[in-house]
Amino acid sequence: MQTTTRIAVDWADIDAMRHVNNLAILRYIQSARVNICRAAGLMPEFAAPKEGPIVASISVRFCLPLFFPGEVVIESRVTGCRTTSFTLAHRVLDGEGNLAAEETEVLVYYDYEAGRKKPLPAAFVGAAKAEGAGDGASRDADSL
């Protein structure tokens, strides 16, 4: 399960060092997360969802700066799937295809009304595993 998200660098994303602020890169990744979760059928349209993914952990490695003007390309894929959680990996590339950042995150499928995790939909798990996702989500996430 993979998606590609393209985002134009906005002038407002530039910091005092004249490059894209690291927090802006995390916002770009957030947009990519929403895109892949929507494509996978895990996010209802934005209207008081009763269940859906919630971020449990994020790890990011910044490799090179991004600049304005420019375009950012985020390649996202599901790399691991467990009972109630899954792992996403994102590669953030500059407009020339150079790796600017790598991010890995664990998301837990969550019942917002009950206030607790719940099993991932079987169709999502089946599709993710059919496309090569392993059991790579964190055990810590399943203990949440």
Query: Per-domain residue ranges for the chain?
Result: 2-142
Amino acid sitting at position 3: T
Under-70 pLDDT residues of the chain: 44-48, 136-144
E strand map for 82-127: 85-93, 99-111, 116-117
* pLDDT at res. 105: 98
Q: Are 89 and 132 in contact (CB under 8 A)?
A: no
Beta bridge partners of 134: 80
* pLDDT at res. 71: 97
Q: Residue 39: which of 134, 127, 144 has the closest Cα?
A: 127
Strand (E) or helix (H) holding 61:
strand 51-62
* pLDDT at res. 42: 87
* pLDDT at res. 76: 98
Q: Are 72 and 93 in contact (CB under 8 A)?
A: yes
CATH of 2-142, one of 3.40.50.10320, 3.40.50.300, 3.10.129.10, 3.20.20.60: 3.10.129.10
